[in-house]
Amino acid sequence: MSVDVTGISGRVTTIRIHRLGRLAGLKEGDWDQRCDFLIVVDRGGATYGASFVELKKHLTDEEKPLEQLRHSLPLLEHLCSARMQDLIGRFLAPPPGVVLDVGGGPGRYGCWLAAEGYQVHLVDPVPKLVEQARAASAAQPDCPLASAAVGDARSLPHGPDSADAVLLMGPLYHLPEREQRLAALREAHRALKPGGILVAKAVNRFASLLDGICRGFVDDLAFVDIIRRDLADGRHRGVPGTTRYFTTAYFHRPDQLAAEICESGFHQEELFTVQGPAQFAPDLDSRMADPARRAQLLDLIRQVERESTLLGAASHIACIAEKPTQDT
């Protein structure tokens, strides 16, 4: 098998994948899972950490931009997940408690919180992702999800004042219309107990511009058009008829995210940069793979996570807010 790994070309002896601290063999049938992993390539006795591995032997001109984008995401997703876990861990009350993971996908955060001792109910509109969440839950039988169901963030199957925390890790960018987002936020507010915590993540208005310049996507004129539209109104649209350059979504300005959350009845809204300047580290792969350097990187991001002048300078922003108690 031939690969091209950030300048390393030719035949390799082994490819390993690193996920959640474990190493496993990568078989040909597992190639479709490569975006979930840090790829480690061993060639001639030398090991390389790779943020981009092309496993397909032949790519058409149409496929190349998509493959480049797909292979650039795993390490940023690893950083994003680590940061969101850090924020969630600091702001949620200690377990036990009831958490609604709304738009929870395959259970990345929900299963982690269940393992920490929370009672987690996951809801997602995509049946395939709910099945993946159920499978992930079954893989930790001592601490499974309390439930995993197909559902809509705008109409939750949970009673009022029933949750200690609600996670909205995807709905606020997958719902492109303002009224849709406000409906999801009001549902989260309804389901939360007074004093309950909302953890919301959004894509930054400037994400396409940042990625386009840093990752060379601006060489594709179709992506330049996407950047211009994103900057103009926040309505992100990929290339029509394909899944290139993400899906239809909404990209927030930081102050706009806080305003929508406030309008939905929350207070004490705090904004955080998620990846921060670490997003642009040239050696992000090796830093995230090394426990000590990873801890240092996360600590440095914490030092500037609330800095208003940096909120627009990374792909994701997060907001932590509270449902007011009767006394506030």
Please tell me whether residues 73 and 196 are part of one structural domain: yes
User: Are both 85 and 36 inside the same structural domain?
Assistant: no
Single-letter amino acid code for the residue at 48: Y
Q: Is residue 109 part of a domain?
A: no
Mean pLDDT along residues 105-120: 96
**What does pTM read for this prediction?**
0.77
- One domain for residues 9 and 84: no
Task: Check residues 66 and 145 and name the one with the higher pLDDT.
Answer: 145
Mean pLDDT of 111-137: 96
Same domain, yes or no: 202 and 73: yes
Look at 69-83, 162-176, 217-231 and tell me which has the smallest mean pLDDT. Answer: 69-83
Q: Are residues 171 and 220 in the same domain?
A: yes
Strand, coil or helix: 194: strand
As beta bridge partners, residue 87 has none
Instruction: Judge if 178 and 306 occupy the same domain.
Output: yes
Do 269 and 159 share a structural domain? yes
Residue 23 — pLDDT band, cuts 50, 70, 90?
very low
For 47-92, the pLDDT digits (tens) are 333 333 333 334 455 444 444 444 444 556 789 999 999 999 999 9
Asked if residue 122 belongs to a domain, the reply is no
What integer pLDDT is reported at residue 242 of this predicted model? 67
Give the total number of structural domains in the chain.
2
- Residue pair 279/314 in contact (Cβ under 8 Å)? The answer is yes
Task: Please check whether residues 32 and 49 belong to one and the same domain.
Answer: yes
Same domain, 248 and 206: yes
In a domain, 264, yes or no: yes
Taking only the tens place, the pLDDT of each residue in 287-296 is 888 999 999 9
Does residue 133 lie in a domain region?
no
Give the residue with greater pLDDT, 40 vs 319: 319
- 41 with 73, same domain: the answer is no
Domain region containing 25: 2-58
Question: Per-residue pLDDT averaged across 120-131, rounded?
Answer: 97
Same domain assignment for residues 44 and 175: no
Give dist(CA 266, CA 279) in Å, integer: 29
Lowest mean pLDDT of 27-41, 52-66, 131-145, 294-308, name the range: 27-41
At 3 the pLDDT is 36
Structure tokens at 327: 């006394």
pLDDT of residue 74: 53
